[in-house]
Amino acid sequence: MKVVILAGGLGTRLSEETKLRPKPMVEIGGRPILWHIMKIYAAFGYQEFCIALGYKGDEIKKFFMNYQAASGDFSINLKNGEKKYYNSPREDWMVHLIDTGDSTLTGGRVFRLRHFLKNEETFMLTYGDGVSNIDIKELVKFHKSHGKIATITAVRPPARFGALQMEGKQVIDFHEKVQLHEGWINGGFMVLNREVFNYLDDDTNILEKGPLEGLARDRQLMAFHHEGFWQPMDTIRDRDFLNSLWNSGSSPWQIWKE
């Protein structure tokens, strides 16, 4: 099952960082938050990633092109260009880097990947700016159990994202960008069946509005409740908080072994 990561937004609320690099490349503990997200999925055996690029996507391409050289030691023969790497990480990942447009919105980025995902009955999707200690295995198990088109992960962070109205685990309404003082919100970490493309149509599609709202109306959207750690990186304060956790040796999302 492929993992799609949305990595093309402007990251305007983190402009101090994103003037120079795309938001998913902002670092936690010296590594881009994108890398942390991929490590979470890889810890559960999901190692094929489709990165939906947009704003400053070349910076993400460069990161993966130079991954071994930047992460370890190497020797290079300047005559013929041959390289030999030492102590370099060798992630067992397949990474597809797909340009989905600088100004394309979230639903449009997924829509642009429809042909790339044509052989996938089910795929995972998340944002390139949030980490969690979510159990991906249990998330996938839950999705397969209910038979609906879409599963999103419901979390309880500070309320500034899409709010969910639920009957049990059935999502019956979805409101984007509603300020709440309590309740569940959309935390990403989604599992989607191919039928989700019936709810998407062009670059102007905002995933969190028409598509998810439509799935909720059609009773095709379910929520996997995650009571554990979840933290987005929307602001400098969020970045500093995540770095403080990492530097203290207490980073709950680090569920992988080094």
- C-alpha 208/C-alpha 229 separation (Å) is 22
Place of tokens 């050289």: 69
Q: What is the pLDDT of residue 140?
A: 98
Domains observed in the chain: 3-71+90-247 (3.90.550.10)
Q: In degrees to the nearest 10, what's the CA dihedral of 241, 47, 205, 158?
A: -20
Q: What is the pLDDT of residue 141?
A: 98
pLDDT, one tens digit for every residue, the chain (258 residues)? 999 999 999 888 888 888 889 999 999 999 999 999 999 999 999 999 999 999 999 999 999 998 887 777 889 899 998 888 887 777 899 999 999 999 999 999 999 999 999 999 999 999 999 999 999 999 999 999 999 999 999 998 654 555 666 778 887 776 655 444 457 899 999 999 999 999 999 999 999 999 999 999 999 999 999 999 999 999 999 999 999 999 999 999 999 987
Q: What is the pLDDT of residue 258?
A: 72
Q: Could you tell me if 242 and 14 are in contact, meaning their C-beta atoms sit under 8 angstroms apart?
A: no
SS3 label, residue 182? coil
Instruction: Report which secondary-structure segment, H or E, holds 224.
Output: strand 221-225
Q: Report H helices in the chain.
A: 15-18, 33-42, 57-65, 67-71, 106-112, 136-146, 210-217, 236-247
